[in-house]
Amino acid sequence: MANNFKNYFAGSVGTSSVDVYTVPASTSATVIGMSVSNLITTPISANVMVFNSTASNTLFMVKNATIAPGGALVPVGGDQKLVLEAGDRLQVQMGTATSADVIVSVLEVS
């Protein structure tokens, strides 16, 4: 059983849903940190979702959260962790075009 720490990035995320991280086959993952930073000079809204590959549905972790200019949303980190299974996807979507950068830190177990 291999344990690997990895980072995943999505730059200039906008109004289309973006898969920031997809769990590889035969792997489970613990998301240990996630930051969504506002790149523009006005507040933005952010959605953070998980696509559950087993049930084939998408669920919101955070819906329409406001991020101030120069600020960040940290939906996962500190005491908050997220466990994902093979095929699950961590997704983000902003209310404004090209307005956020996303960084995700993951521990993969395969």
54: buried, middle or exposed (CB in 10 Å: 19+, 13-18, 0-12)? exposed
- 93 CB-near residues (< 8 Å, 6+ apart): 13, 15, 16, 17, 18, 46, 47, 49
Residue carrying the six token digits 């956020």: 100
- In this structure, what DSSP letter does residue 80 have? B
Give, for all 110 residues of the chain, the pLDDT tens digit: 799 999 999 999 999 999 999 999 999 999 999 999 999 999 999 999 999 999 999 999 999 999 999 999 999 999 999 999 999 999 999 999 999 999 999 999 99
Whole-prediction pTM value? 0.93
Residue carrying the six token digits 């980072």: 7
CATH class of 3-109: mainly beta
Tokens of 38: 């506002």
Residue carrying the six token digits 């994902």: 84
